[in-house]
Chains A and B, each alone.
Chain A
Amino acid sequence: MNNIIEFNNVTYNYSSEDADYIVLKDFNLNIKKGSFTVILGHNGSGKSTLAKLMNGLYKPQSGSVLVNGINTLDEELDLKVKSTVGMVFQNPDNQIVASVVEEDVAFGPENLGLPQEEIRQRVDSALKTVNMYEHKNDMPHKLSGGQKQRIAIAGVIAMLPECIVLDEPTAMLDPKGRQDVIDTIYKLNKEHGITIVLITHFMEQAKYADRVLVLNNGEITADGTPIEVFSKPEFLKNSGLDIPQTTELIFELAKKGLNFKNGIISVDDTANAIAAALRK
């Protein structure tokens, strides 16, 4: 089995009577094990709904969501699904349960009913992974947003998930905190082999992904590598997204006759590419 998450003809509707509330309709999607997927989309395009379907927080009205082959409708295996697919939300304050860092990280393993020594060992190793071990006895409300969000990530990885879904985890953070969180996520994917689904509206974060999905009104309107997706800036605009300034610059320069390779996203790459193009 190659896919960690599979959506088969999923329909999700916030209201059973009113068809206007349909968010996803006959939706299909596979997330490969070990992959790093970034999902882009404007506000209200259904990103959060999609995320909450991935760990069984929401159940589809029709169709099925499979996590490692387990249907999320299966009540018996609900904990298995939730510990396989961890979830990190936007507001760090609203997902920290305990008033001591290490006790918060322990919350997931405690709920799984693990023995004390195992919890201890998982908490310590999770905190080390996100570089927050020295804060283990601090109070979360004294930490910065980026630190809180890394605590939330530690709380999820202490359950040893195979996949982590992050719903705009950096939306409320300053640039420094944002970078720390993104670096942590990247490390989890590359060093620990955890599948990542990152929902974001920061285009530049797409460069870390090996697959970018664009969601528009509950439909996938673009699916490919970052290079493939960002080489069609016009199309991103049509999906209601701001394209990264670097991509736009490259695009405009290309129109004026400069030659570039496709899909340049980061600032450094852009600078190098422009320099190279001018030298020609």
Chain B
Amino acid sequence: MLNDFTLGQYFPTNSLIHRLDPRIKLLLTLGFLILIFCATNIYALTLIIFFVVCLIFLTKIPLKMYVKNLKFILPILIFTTVINLFYTNNGNIILEFWKIKITDYAVVRSIFLSLRIVLLIIISSALTYTTSPNSITTGLESLFSPFKYIGLGRAVHTMTMMMTIALRFIPTLVEETQKIMNAQKARGVNFENGSLIQRIKAIIPILIPLLISSVKSAYDLAEAMESRCYNGGENKTNLKVLKIQKSDYLAVLFFIICCLIVFLFNIVF
């Protein structure tokens, strides 16, 4: 169960989308998320659905990976859809029982909302599936780099360093947790059965050793980093320098066209 969590989100299928600059991908993802909520009529939304389907094919990642992520949020999806059904009294009543009225307007709204959530999940999955965590970190650092002109360079660097180390240590912590769990199981701690309270109590003998070993690791890591001339990121250069390429310009152009069409549809229909 813990192994699923080892940041297996990234699938190196080396598609066109993979090769885009992470900064462009981050910005375009944000752009598309906003665009989804700007598309107020069904034609515009259909157009976006069409783009998203194209995107899925372009990433060369099997559809079932996207479905897997959708399944994960299915309860939330159903919940928000149902809540929205009852939320408004505008429009014509199409169903009425007891004190509850459902209007046609509410149905359309719910469908829109659930479609938007699905698109949102697919687009953000596409980002994490096609961009390695490191590229995301490098991209974020670069996007936030203008902050150094207002004296926040150190803060941006610290943030990216924290992300880098967190990414690096997640698998190690998972391994450590498993080791501790096995050690405690061998001592007779039962993680699978018992009441909720008992199971929560069983987590304590995992958390405490984990905390202690993490503090020790942090201490060791700090010394190792210092030994390798780390001094808070002053004058630090990078092995990998991001470069905008032709395909990145094309992606941006494509996005601008999408925006124009969506706004056109919004006005016309």
Binding site for B on A (CB under 8 A): 52, 55, 57, 78-79, 82-83, 86-87, 89, 91, 93-100, 102-103, 106-116, 119-120, 123, 139-141, 152, 155-156, 159
Question: Most chain-A Cβ atoms within 10 A of its Cβ — which of B226, B229, B230, B231?
Answer: B229
The SS class assigned to the A binding surface is helix
Q: Which residues of B contact A109 (CB under 8 A)?
A: 237, 239
B205-245 interface code vs A (CB 8 A; 1 in, 0 out) = 00000000000110011011111111100011111110000
- Interface pair A111/B230, CB less than 8 Å apart: yes
- Interface pair A103/B227, CB less than 8 Å apart: no
Distance to closest chain A CB from B225 (angstroms): 6
Give how many B residues have a beta carbon under 8 Å from the other chain's beta carbons: 31
Q: In this assembly, does B168 line the interface, its C-beta being within 8 Å of a C-beta of chain A?
A: yes
- Interface pair A57/B226, CB less than 8 Å apart: yes
Q: Which residues of A contact B220 (CB under 8 A)?
A: 89, 91, 94-95
In Å, the complex CA distance between A89 and B221 comes to 10
In Å, the complex CA distance between A148 and B82 comes to 52
B169-211 interface code vs A (CB 8 A; 1 in, 0 out) = 0011001000000000000000000000000000000000000
- Interface pair A119/B239, CB less than 8 Å apart: yes
- Interface pair A119/B228, CB less than 8 Å apart: no
Which one, A86, A123, A139, contacts B227 given CB within 8 A? Answer: A86
- Interface pair B236/A97, CB less than 8 Å apart: no
In Å, the complex CA distance between A109 and B171 comes to 25
Q: In this assembly, does B133 line the interface, its C-beta being within 8 Å of a C-beta of chain A?
A: yes
B149-178 interface code vs A (CB 8 A; 1 in, 0 out) = 000000000000000110110011001000
In Å, the complex CA distance between A106 and B175 comes to 25
Distance to closest chain A CB from B209 (angstroms): 16
- Interface pair B241/A95, CB less than 8 Å apart: no
